[in-house]
Structure 1
Amino acid sequence: MSSDDEDDLVFKALADRRRRQILDLLKAEPRTTGDLCARFGDSLDRCTVMQHIGVLEKAGLIIARREGRQRWNYLNAGPFKDISDRWISPYAAEAVSLLARLKRDLESQEGEGA
């Protein structure tokens, strides 16, 4: 699978508010599937939560491990770092450079006007 295909899976997984809520829960600590289902109470049934978990797993954002009858879900930070490295960091670096240049220009103008 190409990097673009993997990025598409991550962005599509993150597009749903409920999947982001699941990731927020897993950010604090690993949780069982039963616990994740219980966190949504009556707003989502178990089957729907499992479908969302499946999308997150396919995108590589969750790693699941079975321990006996329980299925533990862990947040996988790797895809977030990949997205950050490819899509956020280069733009952030450019923005910082632009702000530094603006600061120099403004300080230069202050020096000329004083």
Structure 2
Amino acid sequence: MFSHEERISLIAKAVSELENIEVDSFEGLMVDHAVKHGAVAAIRGLRALSDFEFEFKMALMNRNLNEDISTLFLMPHAKYTHVSSSMVREAASLGGNVSDYVPAHVDKALKDKYGNV
């Protein structure tokens, strides 16, 4: 839907007021990229038990690849546990109101993309 460059730009704008945040993309192993940039942890979100199984396996693999990189899991507010990018994308593509789930500039970009102005 959005190009790689568009996604980077949308994310960068969403976090622009936060300190010590760098938006970046990479190819290869996350743990290698983390070490290259001096990171010590990966932060992952867990919405439901179904997310946990995948994320737990990924965290164990990353630990096996580099034990110096930890994985921290964060849970969303209960009112957002059902929200996924797929659901937001589908609702937006059908003209649904997704403004409760995305920043205003992303909502506008979705409307522009799908012609739902």
Q: Same fold (TM over 0.5)?
A: no
More relative contact order, 1 or 2 (CA 8 Å, 6+ apart): 1
Structure index of larger Rg: 1
- More helix by percentage: 1
Give TM-score scaled by structure 2 length. Answer: 0.31
